[in-house]
Amino acid sequence: MRDLDSGNCFTLKEVEISKANSRRRLLKVAAISALAFGCSSDQKNIYKDNKNTYWNNLAIPSQKDRTVIITGGNGYPMNEISGLGYHDALALAYAGANVIIASRNLKQGDEAVLRIKKVVPNAKIRFETLDLADLRSIRNFCHKMTNTDQKLDALINNAGVMGRTERETSVDGFERVFATNTLGHFVLTTELLPLLKRGHNPKVIWVSSLRAANAKLNFDDLQLERNYDYAAAYDQSKLANLLLAKEFNRRSRNYDWGVSSISAHPGVARTNLIPHGPGLDSREGRRFRAMPFLFQPAAFGALSTLHAATARDALADEYYGPDGILELRGMPTRVEIPNNAQNSHNARKLWEVLETMRQVADT
């Protein structure tokens, strides 16, 4: 089994561990695999020559004529670390989709497009500038999309940041993590709703995290002004995204939008979230350095999102994640939505609060 871009190899045994196996066995197999099965390959031939890649096992149906926006899809592999969205974009481009990578870093975005076109020469893919922590940037992006694209078939709300040790604010004055992960995606999704309603079997995919299950949403201090903690900031933003997925579905049914809202999480994946967030000297950073075998490659973590976005059996109002023990790693499957994300009252209240926050860009 191959990581399509980096050329790393992984065994099927690693990702097909059953839930009946113990945590110890999972860690042992993962550690052995990480140490023993590294290899290189000609990435240009992976799609054509290797019929046993996990992309084929995932059975992504043709995405021809489907337009997909992926936020934060410019994290191409560097030093064995990459972003989830990059692998979403790579797989969807190969499946024939018209892919739009939307991120704030123009240089990295252009490079991501070039790299994907090297693997998929006929890829229909482009980069557009979008800063989710800037409400005006979101409005400008959406205005451009509505003027250049006739429809949108899938929106993958993938981009995410983890807070640094000191609290930071966005250009609009909101706590940086909440502004990027939650408020930004909320405004983006609702502004693009007219395009989504014109799409074919349109979907919105909200990327959450295992950490959402232990999070709390404090409506009296959503911006964590009184008691900031970088981990709590990230966790509550991912819980908020699950609640938004639920509320979006309720409104889609009630108002006949015809757009499915689905959530997904990657398990534990090796991305830049921690190095670019609290750093390698934080408590998360120390685990990141000391236990690398816990973190599956980002290409594996992306599978749950890809399943939610493309599989014919992926259902609205459901949650998808890895099928391995504790949902840390494995192949995508439907997983249980945490109890704290099933509170309809909180979901509606959060939507209303975000509607008020978005008005900052209008003043």
Confidence of residue 15 (pLDDT cuts 50, 70, 90): very low
Instruction: Check pLDDT > 70 for residue 17.
Output: no
Confidence of residue 363 (pLDDT cuts 50, 70, 90): low
Q: What is the pLDDT of residue 20?
A: 35
- What mean pLDDT is predicted for residues 172-184? 97
What phi, psi does 122 have (nearest 5°)? -95, 20
Span 123-164, pLDDT tens digits: 999 999 999 999 999 999 999 999 998 999 999 999 999 888
Which of helix, strand or coil describes residue 203?
A: strand
- What mean pLDDT is predicted for residues 271-291? 69
Give the residue among 16, 82, 14, 78 at the shortest CA–CA distance from 293.
14
Span 32-85, pLDDT tens digits: 233 222 222 223 332 333 333 343 345 789 999 999 999 998 988 887 778 899
Residue 24 belongs to a domain:
no
Residue keyed to tokens 């990657």: 266
Confidence of residue 293 (pLDDT cuts 50, 70, 90): low
Instruction: Check pLDDT > 70 for residue 292.
Output: no
176 in Cβ contact with 235 (< 8 Å): no
330 in Cβ contact with 307 (< 8 Å): no
Residue 47 belongs to a domain:
no
Q: What is the CATH number of the domain that holds 342?
A: 3.40.50.720
In the chain, the amino acid numbered 278 is P
Percent of the chain with pLDDT over 90: 64
Span 222-253, pLDDT tens digits: 999 999 999 999 999 999 999 999 999 999 99
276 in Cβ contact with 165 (< 8 Å): no
155 in Cβ contact with 189 (< 8 Å): yes
223 in Cβ contact with 175 (< 8 Å): yes
- What mean pLDDT is predicted for residues 193-198? 98
Residue 110 belongs to a domain:
yes
- What mean pLDDT is predicted for residues 254-276? 88
Residue 92 belongs to a domain:
yes
- What mean pLDDT is predicted for residues 272-288? 70
**Alpha carbon distance 356, 253 (integer Å):** 23
- What mean pLDDT is predicted for residues 318-331? 87
Number of domains in the chain: 1
Confidence of residue 290 (pLDDT cuts 50, 70, 90): low
**Alpha carbon distance 212, 216 (integer Å):** 8
Residue 74: both structure tokens together: 């410019």
Residue 112 belongs to a domain:
yes
Residue 310 belongs to a domain:
yes
Q: Where are the alpha helices (DSSP H) in the chain?
A: 12-15, 23-36, 46-49, 54-58, 84-94, 106-119, 135-148, 176-178, 184-191, 193-197, 230-254, 283-290, 298-301, 303-310, 344-357
- Which residues are part of the catalytic machinery? 234
**Alpha carbon distance 212, 84 (integer Å):** 18
Q: With the CA atoms of 276, 280, 285 and 289 taken in that order, what torsion angle do they form, in degrees rounded to the nearest 10?
A: 120
Which of helix, strand or coil describes residue 245?
A: helix
Q: What is the pLDDT of residue 222?
A: 94
Q: Which domain holds residue 328?
A: 53-362
Residue 269 belongs to a domain:
yes
Q: What is the pTM of this model?
A: 0.83
